[in-house]
Every structure is written in structure tokens, then in C-alpha cells.
A and B are shown apart, each in its own frame.
Chain A
Amino acid sequence: MDVGLIAINWVERDGAMPTPLRPSASVAPPIWVDPMKTVVEFQDDAGDPSVWITTIASSQSRECFAQLFGRFAPRVKSYMLKLGARPELAEELAQETLLTVWRKAAYFDPSRASASTWIFTIARNLRIDAIRRERHPEDLIDEPELRPAETVRADDLMSAAEREDRLRGALKTLPKDQAEVVQLSFFHDKAHAEISTDLGVPLGTVKSRLRLAMVRLRAQLEDLQ
């Protein structure tokens, strides 16, 4: 029987889109914009991207959007390229990701996710849709699912941005073989069985390295509270 109907739905992923927040009172640091040229001075790694997003939500700040674009569009493009997207598609997905950030900024909750985690989930979902569209151009895509926020747990007491800083540090301390498996899980458009052949190790080894890596990351996040 035909159990394989064609798919069109957005694959929802937990935590991508919490409930909308009221416009936030937080204000972004002033950024110089030349009104004649619309050129924005980028100071990469300066400024807090979650403040940019909440300011976009509260006052549709084009300056904050430009800052965010400068910080994330080239990285989203790089992520897409690593996953095997053609350069034009990678550029388009980076554009779409930042456009979605602009449109959905009111759903961003900085206590729940860091800016880069939120942007990662948007980019990931757009990529899943793009792959589906390429295979089934006739399909229309649903709007992303807006999921209610989960109850705050003890480990959420640390702010999402702080948690991410620590996670970035912890990722750098992973043993090389574990770091490699973590990297490939995200920057490799392949199932783990294929990752294991690429690395020349059995699938069981990939599984245990990934499990060890996650145990270690979780432990480090908990230690640091």
C-alpha cells in the first residue's frame, strides 16, 4: 500500500519558537549609521546579539538588523556550504534566515535561548524545507510551528548567553576524537553510519564518542553553575 505520502509540513523542533514576548524595554547600544549611504560600521564580536534581536522586536531597528546580519549571515552561509549547499543556495538560505529573524523577533526569548542557538534552529529548519522543496517543488511549506515555552528548569537559571559562552569553552576542551564526532554531527550532511566510514571507525565507536562528549559537556555546564 502507499504508506509513503508526500510530505509538506514543517518539521517542528522543540524550542525553536517560544511564545511571543511583550516588546522588550532593553535598548541596543547606539550604532552609527550614515543615512546617505546606509553603511553600517561592523564591529564583529562587539555587542550582544540577543539585545539586537529584542531591539528589533521592540522598535524594528534597522541598525540592529544590519549588525546582526553582519555577524550571522556569513556564518549561516558557511554552515550551509559545509553541509553541501551550492553557493547560491547557501547565500539564499543565509538571507532567508536573517529575514525570518526580523519577522519572528517577537518570539525570541533571551532567557530561553542564546541568539546563536535561536538562529541555528531557524537556519536548520529552513534547510530542511529547502531540501524538501528541491525534491518536491510542488509542495508548499507551512509556517514554522510556534511552540509554547517550557517551564524553566534549574539549569535555566544561568542565562542562555552565559550558558553558551561556557559551552563554547567546553567544546574547545573536548578530546580531539570526541570533538570531531560532534563537529561532523552538525557540519556533515550524512547519517552516522557514513560518518563512521569517513572517520574509519566502527559505528559503535561514533556512538560512544558522541555519548561521552555529551556527558562531558553536560557535566561541565552543571559544574559551572
Chain B
Amino acid sequence: MSIRHHPTEVVLAGYASGALADGPSLTVACHLDRCPACRGRVRLFEQVGGALLADTDQAAMGEDALARALASIERPAPAPAQRASSPAPQPISGVVLPSALARRGVGARRWVGPGIWVAPVRSNAADGWRTYLLRVPKGVAMPHHGHNGPEFTAVLQGAFHDEGSVYGPGDFSESGEGLEHHPAVEGDEACVCLLSGLGGVKATGLLRLVQPFIGV
């Protein structure tokens, strides 16, 4: 199945310029892993960044700046930093993770319903974004819920349908604050997505019952 849903230019520009938060950047990276067209768009944005840098005005450097730089290039490069406290990434059986995600590491899965699990992804949570993998088995619809803030989704496998569109592997979706919907898994396969959201979801109806367990 070919990719039909791409990040907007604004999201890709934020990714290329570094303005997009860490969690959403990971969802974009999962899309880029499968989408050469958007990789090309990001490259164009990076070229724009380079062109703007070449044409920007100059800020005076400290008086000894060049001498300091010439001294520091004589020192050997430090050995690559090791992660101090993070456990080794755990492979998740049956799910192929894009390299951007595999390198980050995914925490332990937590089963929250029959065939449904969530697994946290290491990301910068200080900015308020919560980033996690969600697996939902075939035939299951998410209960009706609303969003308190923006949320980005990249489909890793399987498919879901939402508001009249089908999202398959590699597809990207962005939902805004205030959206109320109930996406459902499409086809014969479980759906695994990477989600990154700000502000959490407002439970309406059934989800209120399970939300304390899901914690999203």
C-alpha cells in the first residue's frame, strides 16, 4: 500500500529547522523512513536553512575565539558518550521498528485490554509531549474521545480508519486540539502506531472506564 497521508509543510519545516518538539519529531522520522518524497522536502528545507545561514548577518565572536578553536582542534575527540542509566532497547516481537525508534529504545509493554498494549518511547518529556507505541488488534475501535491538544500519529503496521480516511503503514496523521473522534482498526491485522500528544485525551463515553489504566 502506498503512502497517502503526509505531514504538512509546516510540520516538515519544524522538523528540518529543529523547532518541532522531540516526540513529534520522532513520529515524523517514522514517516520519513518510508517516504522518499518527504525526505526530499526535508532536504529542501535544510537547504533553505543553509542558504539563510550563509546570508545571515554576523555576530562578533569573542576576541580569542579563533585561538580557542585552534587549540581545541588539537585535543583528541572525546570517546562517544555512553548512556548512563537507560536500559538496552527491547525488541518487541512481531513489530518492525524504524531505525529512528529502535535506537531510542522502547520501554516495557503494558497490556491495557485484550490484545491492546502501550509502550513508552524514550523522548524528551520535559516539554510535555507524551510519546508511546500503541497496538490495537483487528476489529477493535477506540472509544469515542476528544483531544486536549495536538497529537501526531505515524502508522508502523496495519491500518486504521478515522473520519472517512484510511491510514496504512507509513501514513501520518495530525490531529488538533478539540478533535473528537473514534478511530477503528481496519483490515485483518493488528495496528501499531507511534503517537505523540500534548495535553492528553478527554475521555468521553467508554474510554473514561479504561483511561486510568491506559494513562494517556
Contacts and interface: CB of A to CB of B under 8 A. Distances in A.
Tell me the interface secondary structure of chain A in the complex: helix
Interface string A161-198: 00110011001000000000011011111111000000
Interface stretch (B45-53, B135-143, B155-163, B179-187): B45-53
A197 B205 CA distance: 35
A55 interface: no
A150 B26 CA distance: 20
A98 B53 CA distance: 14
Nearest to A68: B69
A120 B53 contact: yes
A46 B107 CA distance: 52
A78 interface: yes
B70 A164 contact: no
Of A5, A171, A191, most B-chain CB atoms within 10 Å? A5
Interface of A: 1-9, 11-15, 38, 40, 62, 65-66, 69-70, 72-79, 81-82, 90-91, 94-95, 98-99, 102-103, 113-121, 123-125, 127-128, 132, 135-136, 138-143, 145, 150, 153, 163-164, 167-168, 171, 182-183, 185-192, 206-207, 210-211, 214, 217-218, 221
Interface of B: 8-10, 13-20, 22, 25-26, 29, 32, 36, 39-62, 65-70, 72-73, 77, 80-84, 86, 100, 103-104, 107, 110, 118, 120-126, 129-132, 214-216
Contacts of A95: 65, 68-69, 72
B211 to A, nearest CB: 11
Contacts of B36: 150
A70 B9 CA distance: 34
Given A69-B66, A95-B69, A191-B14, A14 B42 contact: yes
